[in-house]
Amino acid sequence: MEPKHVEHLLISVEPHERRMSHWVYAPRVVDTRDGRVLLDLGGGPWDLVSTAQSATAVELLLRQYPGDREAVCLSICLADNSLWLGNCRVAAGDIPGALERAQA
């Protein structure tokens, strides 16, 4: 997947092999205005399935390897770069834990 620009965000993936021939495409999101990394799930089990943009947010559909559970939608508010899982705001440092809890 080529890096994708959405408003002021650059969304890219870091492919890495979880098992022989099983690849995960971990997302990384950077604010291109100041270079700040908003999300980096590199090296972990989270695979970027798709992205969608609305007038107010970018939605990242994420699936945890090996893909035997429901996907989770993580939203990034374009106005302030805040991260959301459903109606809950999530601190950047708590994303992996929040994603795990969202699948429980």
pTM for the full predicted model: 0.91
Q: Please tell me the predicted confidence (pLDDT) of residue 21.
A: 78
Q: Please tell me the predicted confidence (pLDDT) of residue 2.
A: 79
pLDDT digits (tens, 9 = 90+) for 45-76: 999 999 999 999 999 999 999 888 899 999 99
Q: Please tell me the predicted confidence (pLDDT) of residue 48.
A: 96
DSSP 1: -
Q: Please tell me the predicted confidence (pLDDT) of residue 64.
A: 94
- Residue 104 predicted with pLDDT over 80: no
- Residue 92 predicted with pLDDT over 90: no
Cα–Cα distance measured from residue 43 to residue 37, given in angstroms and rounded to the nearest whole number: 15
Domain boundary assignment for the chain: 4-103
Q: Cβ contacts of residue 84 below 8 Å, gap of 6+?
A: 57, 74, 75, 76, 77, 90
Q: Please tell me the predicted confidence (pLDDT) of residue 58.
A: 97
